[in-house]
Structure 1
Amino acid sequence: FNRSGAYSSGPLSIKDNKAKLVRAISSYLFMSDEELGIYSPFQYVNRRSFLSFSNDENDQAQGYEINPNHILKAGKLVLRGTVCYEMGEESAVVKYSWTRT
């Protein structure tokens, strides 16, 4: 799977292969977020959302509360998938984008 679509082994007739379709959908239901390729840096505590960052000086992680509702989200999959979130008490924004590896 990549951001612009799923890789496929070919067409599947759901009329002729009902059991295979049910097995495929069931498999996705039992996958963890990691197996599904979902990366969530957020930690949720008492209905509040936090992000942790470590600084370069002493690798001490510090948590920041953020508003989980994005303030900007790129509308197309073929772009870098940029999403911006407003930080709670700070006058700052967190920006996430896909990078090439």
Structure 2
Amino acid sequence: MKAIGANPRVIKRIFLLESSYIGLIGAFVGTFTAYGVSILVNFALPMILEAAFQEELPAGLQFSSIPWSLVVIPVGICLVVTVLSGLRPTKRATEITVLKAMRREV
């Protein structure tokens, strides 16, 4: 990026943006997976228990519930962790000289 004239500030923004996108994608995949498992548990577990014990469960019984705070806090933590883990490569990318970057084997 330096070879084509990118400013170190722009390089830093790009690296941090990429790492935060990776964190957000991971957080959303984890959240959707958790909601899917929760829905599956609330659907399948009552049927299994009714079949096993031959008794009807109370109406409206939920085995799994995910509040919004349990979504917001992990997404925030995930963003902080991915931005912090992106700082080291960002620092290395902004400090490397153009000639060293051009010589480096990929």
Could you state the TM-score of these two structures normalised by the residue count of structure 1? 0.28
Higher strand fraction: Structure 1 or Structure 2? 1
Per residue, is there more helix in 1 or in 2? Answer: 2
| TM-score, normalization by structure 2 | 0.28
Give the structure with higher Rg (CA).
Answer: 2
